Amino acid sequence: MRGTLFIAALALLASAGAAGAQPGALVIVGGGLSRENAAIHEAFISRAGPDGRIAIVPAASAEPAASAQAFAETLARYGVAASRIDIVKLAVRDDEGTPVVDERTWAQGGADPTEIAKIERAGAIWMTGGDQARLTQTLYDAAGADTPMLAAMRRRLATGAVIGGTSAGAAVMSARMIAGGDSLTAMLAPVLRDGPAEEGALVLARGLGFLPDGIVDQHFGERARLGRLTRALSDPGLARRVGFGIDEDTALVVDLAAQTAAAIGAGSVTVVDATRALLVTRSGGFGADGVRLSLINDGDTVALSTLAVRVAPGKTRIAAGDERYDAPDRDGAGMAAPARSLEDTLGADLLDNSAARALERVSFRADGAGVIWRFAEDAASAAHYGGGRYGVQGVTFSIRPVRVNVRDAR
């Protein structure tokens, strides 16, 4: 009887401790994570605690065992003892590099008590890259309910653990997830939800919902995904029309207790605010008006509730009348024009350029279907410069579908 009472008392204490716990954090990496990127790795590792265990979930990968082992070796480079690392047996693809193990037998790991225990004791949980659909396939059951493993991940996050992921492991963080598509086709073709798509069309599916609201896109600047993310914000399943586009080798570190998010790493995080925008889909394509863009980079933070940006110390505000450039816009498109990043377009070409108050760019297909992008500054727009990078706040953005007629100039 005393033993039973003692166990019951321990359960009550554990319950009380969990009830008073602060939620943890998310380390959402846009893919292409360099092993040398100490800031991102240390942001993830430090949140596990000095002796906390780290669980690696490799389900998204086509080479689950190899990808998990590679990340374990990276953790070791940053001083994490092998005894602290657990590789979770959850996958749907066989890794040909491990002929003695068929990782397809890990498909039911989401209900395996041994594998769930690895999550339960982890202070940090990492999801590798690959295909985000494999993660949702293994972490939801056939009826669409949380597997015991996913329920354990939610409990750990709610009581202070950190969950991180790169590429596919980033895409699943939001409740609605981008599962495929390129920007131009996304703006010109119908959106497909939870089903097969025509080549390049935007596909939206159910994510894991660790991020309270909004939607995440990855490989953002490198794959020119602004149009794709903006189109995704028209999805009626979104609780809030806010998007976070994360460049490669860059992370958005979300503090769920403080409700803030910080950018760290080599690139930028683009915050797309369509909460007051007009998003319209017609037969000619997708249009948007009244979207606002901010770009944050290393050390900058954004408040999740208001999307207000706090610029990192040491960066210089670009004041009106003190712009570094005074050049009319002559940017073209196609093979003869140099690639221009969104950061440089909004920073150098617009806000740091006294000759421009607005810029337009055209993207189109060979059949003439296309869009005009328009970026403009107003009284609420601002830019900062530091560390060789531009940060941008409050640029207005619109998309207008057009038909382009190309004729021989002769």
Q: Give catalytic status of residue 219 as yes or no.
A: yes
Residue of 219, 343, 377, 398 with catalytic role = 219
| Cα–Cα distance, 200 to 184 (Å, whole number) | 8
| Cα–Cα distance, 386 to 352 (Å, whole number) | 13
Q: Give catalytic status of residue 248 as yes or no.
A: yes
At which residue do the structure tokens 């039973």 appear? 4
3-class DSSP assignment, residue 337: coil
Q: Give catalytic status of residue 34 as yes or no.
A: no
Residue of 67, 167, 174, 294 with catalytic role = 167
| Cα–Cα distance, 137 to 139 (Å, whole number) | 6
Residue 5 corresponds to which tokens in the numbers above?
Answer: 């009472």
Helices 113-120 and 148-158 meet at what angle, rounded to 10?
10
> Parallel, antiparallel, or unpaired: how do β-strands 162-166 and 25-29 relate?
parallel
Give buried/exposed letters for 277-314 (b at 16+ CB in 10 A, else e). bebeeeeebbbbeebbbbbbbbbbbbebeebebebbee
| Cα–Cα distance, 178 to 184 (Å, whole number) | 15
CB 393 within 8 A of CB 343: no
| Cα–Cα distance, 170 to 236 (Å, whole number) | 21
| Cα–Cα distance, 253 to 111 (Å, whole number) | 29
Side-by-side strand order, sheet with 192-193: 176-180, 203-206, 192-193
Residue of 103, 248, 323, 377 with catalytic role = 248
Residues with a catalytic annotation lie at 167, 219, 248
